[in-house]
A and B are shown apart, each in its own frame.
Chain A
Amino acid sequence: MAGLTYLKDVVTLALDEQRCTGCGMCLEVCPHEVFQMDGRTVRIRDRDACMECGACSLNCPAGALTVKAGVGCAAAVINGMLGRKGASCCCAE
């Protein structure tokens, strides 16, 4: 995705290598190829590609992944700041 990379050094994704069992579940659910197998455990290949969807941490059976999950949507953040209820995003698809 040339040209479609987001901000650098901002995401909250963290991996605890000690806990990782190398099951590969995170590789399966991540839509942006953030992870890579490295021997018997996983390592973070491209941290800036993470969109904090939370799929990996929710599906990691070892609890090795943490991320402050959320939807990267400015409209939802603005609605939240204005205290509008159902601070939701448009979700056009």
Chain B
Amino acid sequence: MAPSVGLGGASVGSAPPRLDQPFVTGFIHGPRGKIPSVSSALEKADRWGTFKARWGVGRMGYTVDPGLYGLGSPGKDSPVLVTANYKMSFDSLRVALPGRDAWILVLDTRGINVWCAAGKGTFGTIELVGRIAQASLRDVVTHRELIVPQLGAPGVSAPKARKLSGFRVRFGPVRAEDLPAYLDAGMKASPGMRRKDFPLWDRAVLIPIELVAVLKAALPVAAVMFFLSGFFGRGGFVPNLVDEGVFSFAAVMGALFAGTVLGPLLLPYLPGRAFGARGFAAGILAALALIALKGYDTGTAYGFLRGVSWLLMISSLSSYLVMNFTGSSTFTSLSGVKREMRRYLPLQVAACASGLALWVAARFFA
């Protein structure tokens, strides 16, 4: 067992979950002391926490204590549902089960959601078996079954867990909202419950966190391009800043918008299978729109060079950003990502570098 150290507010180790966590509504007397109970209704603070986490605020310490909780008034026959100690995972589980009594066994995933933690192995067989023992689950329920989210399967081996703990792992539906139907059907999942799609809303909720992360890197770049625009060119330093400088700033922001908003939203409609290809397409769309708005006179060498340079830079940056969206997507394989990176990373670097070179050249062409 890891030593009991504070990790973002949650206690790690063998201590039972604390009763004074803000979302705990009471307690149930268990064989080894008090088991915190929770309701399936979310409070304002829970919703606010979710909103903040989506925007990257306090996301790393957004945890609940690992261990056993009671939802409603569970008894010896109530089902045991397993989840991660990321608060958003815990909340989406309990909110899906209004009016139901169940046990919730929270694994210590260091505040990471079920699927990602399963990929890393922290939502795993050993942690599950250890947590069953720590919670004295054998004395809490008379049955020997656990419902683990299907997306926990990359980390949890059902055959091994059974051998080690005596509990049979049943893989529940992908989405918590399908749990009532799954339970009512006698723990049977329809094919639709087993499929992980990537619909518009699922892609949209990921945008804020990407946007915030990339903005931190893009702002200095945009500022540098703005400043560089002052030199050479047609006019003096200040007129240049007003003309090309403002546009340079907007262009870098446009690349960011293409890569983190347009790309994810339009993902199924962009041409190509590789995310790098889809990103180039989103970037070209954004670049053409920006260049048209700016009204470069592409009939002159000066205007043409500037237009082409931004087309290259915006599309390559967008390609890079959308390629990084593979990690948030639900259907990319590691082998595939490695293959597309071998192809697209050199392309992105070449396009961006030649775009920058053309842009600098255009300053002298004025």
Contacts and interface: CB of A to CB of B under 8 A. Distances in A.
Interface of A: 1-8, 10-12, 25, 27-33, 49-55, 58-59, 61, 68-78, 88-93
Given A51-B331, A71-B119, A30 B194 contact: yes
A1 B202 CA distance: 13
A31 B151 contact: yes
A17 B37 CA distance: 47
B153 A55 contact: yes
Interface string B85-115: 0001000000000000000000000001101
B334 A71 contact: yes
Contact of A77 (B171, B267, B328, B338): B338
Contact of B335 (A1, A52, A55): A52
Nearest to A61: B159
Closest 8 CB pairs of A and B: A73-B327, A3-B268, A70-B334, A72-B332, A91-B116, A55-B153, A31-B196, A29-B153
A31 B334 contact: no
30 contacts: A1-B197, A1-B331, A6-B331, A10-B336, A31-B151, A32-B196, A33-B191, A33-B195, A52-B334, A53-B153, A55-B150, A58-B155, A61-B159, A68-B334, A68-B335, A70-B333, A70-B335, A72-B326, A72-B333, A72-B335, A72-B336, A73-B327, A74-B326, A74-B337, A74-B341, A77-B334, A77-B337, A90-B210, A93-B88, A93-B115
B153 A91 contact: no
B187 to A, nearest CB: 11
Contacts of B340: 7, 74
Residues of B contacting A: mostly = helix
Interface stretch (B7-15, B242-250, B269-277, B281-289): B269-277
Nearest to B169: A59
B213 interface: yes
Interface in B196-222: 196-198, 205-206, 209-210, 213
A74 to B, nearest CB: 5
Interface in B158-203: 158-159, 171, 174, 189, 191, 194-198
A3 B270 CA distance: 8
Interface of B: 88, 112-113, 115-116, 118-120, 150-151, 153-159, 171, 174, 189, 191, 194-198, 205-206, 209-210, 213, 267-269, 273-275, 323-324, 326-341
Given A11-B335, A51-B331, 8 more contacts: A6-B333, A59-B158, A71-B334, A73-B334, A74-B323, A77-B334, A89-B327, A90-B327
A70 B332 CA distance: 10
Contact of B268 (A2, A10, A52): A2
B332 A51 contact: yes
Contacts of B196: 31-32
Nearest to A3: B268
Nearest to A56: B153
A72 B332 CA distance: 5
A11 B119 CA distance: 17
A4 B331 contact: yes
A4 to B, nearest CB: 5
B339 A93 contact: no
A23 to B, nearest CB: 10
Contact of A28 (B112, B189, B331): B189
Contact of B154 (A50, A61, A69): A69
Contact of A74 (B119, B205, B210, B275): B275
A28 B157 contact: no
A53 B154 contact: yes
A93 B157 contact: no
Nearest to B323: A74
B273 A58 contact: no
